[in-house]
């Protein structure tokens, strides 16, 4: 669930988001030392690798502590496990509850290229952003400058796992070193050299919708701000 961000009483002019997104990282989660990366069996690995460091496809994931609500919210950083959980379970990336779904599909807000064509469904869209519930979609638009500027609301009827986004490493002595942040498809051999931080989904069947014409749009904005 989202956690309310407290405003310092001495700063009456500061305007901070009232809701911390479910997928946002907290300072206590980002302060832990990262495990050393080594080369093992022709791919990167953690020197003290644990069973849960890799997913069912054998992809190495960023190891991040799970301490939501501890410290201060890091709005520019995404918690790898919660982002992946939201993508796989179709959870709203703001509140962590199930995303809005009806007969037309699951609700997403898109800002990245390629943009969704007006008629919908005539070109795949790959996204790193999880879906949303309807109340939180309005919260996100109000809180995010990029969304306020431009977004496309879509109902998605079909999607598939596309790949991951994360740090790409190259061989080096004595240990491999990160050289770039990339998006890599599951069938790309380079994925063995990526420390994943985000799961990517490919939206294959979708239709743009008028978000403000959707049913049960809340009329009292205060009802959108969940503790």
pLDDT at residue 18, rounded to an integer:
67
- Closest among 137, 167, 219 to 61, alpha carbons compared: 167
Residues 73, 79, 82, 84: is their CA dihedral positive or negative? positive
| Average pLDDT score over the chain | 84
Is pLDDT of 169 > 90? Answer: yes
pLDDT for the residue 20: 92
Residues 6 or more apart whose Cβ sits within 8 Å of residue 65: 28, 29, 32
Tens of pLDDT, residue by residue over 8-56, are 333 333 344 468 999 999 999 987 788 999 999 999 999 999 999 999 9
Q: Write down the pLDDT at residue 167.
A: 97
Distances (CA, A) of 198 to 8, 81, 130, 183: 32, 8, 10, 9
Looking at residue 193, what is its pLDDT?
97
Q: What are phi and psi of 175, to 5 degrees?
A: -135, 150
Residues 141-148, mean pLDDT to the nearest whole number: 82
Predicted local distance difference test score (pLDDT) of residue 19: 84
Proportion of the chain in helix, strand, coil states, percent, rounded to 5: 20, 35, 45
Give the pLDDT band of residue 122 (cuts 50, 70, 90): low
What is the C-alpha to C-alpha distance for residues 201 and 128, in angstroms, rounded to an integer?
7
d(CA 115, CA 137): 18
The pLDDT value recorded for residue 75 is 87
Domain extent listing, the chain: 24-214
At 128 the pLDDT is 95
pLDDT, tens only, 56-92: 999 999 999 999 999 999 988 999 999 999 999 999 9
């Amino acid at each position: 669930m989202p956690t309310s961000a407290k405003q310092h009483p001495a700063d009456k002019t500061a305007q901070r988001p009232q809701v911390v997104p479910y997928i946002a990282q907290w300072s206590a989660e980002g302060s832990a030392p990262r495990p050393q990366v080594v080369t093992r069996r022709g791919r990167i690995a953690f020197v003290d690798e644990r069973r849960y460091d890799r997913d069912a496809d054998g992809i190495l994931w960023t190891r991040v502590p799970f301490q939501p609500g501890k410290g201060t919210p890091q709005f520019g950083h995404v918690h790898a496990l919660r982002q992946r959980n939201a993508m796989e379970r179709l959870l709203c990336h703001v509140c962590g509850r199930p995303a809005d779904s009806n007969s037309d599909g699951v609700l997403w807000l898109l800002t990245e290229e390629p943009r969704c064509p007006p008629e919908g469904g005539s070109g795949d869209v790959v996204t790193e952003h999880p879906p949303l519930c309807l109340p939180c979609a309005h919260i996100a638009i109000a809180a995010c400058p990029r969304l306020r500027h431009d977004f496309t609301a879509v109902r998605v009827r079909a999607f598939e796992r596309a790949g991951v986004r994360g740090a790409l490493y190259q061989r080096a002595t004595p240990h491999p070193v990160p050289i770039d942040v990339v998006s890599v498809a599951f069938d790309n051999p380079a994925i063995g050299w990526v420390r994943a931080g985000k799961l990517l989904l490919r939206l294959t069947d979708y239709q743009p919708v008028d978000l403000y014409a959707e049913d049960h749009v809340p009329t009292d904005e205060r009802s959108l701000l969940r503790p």
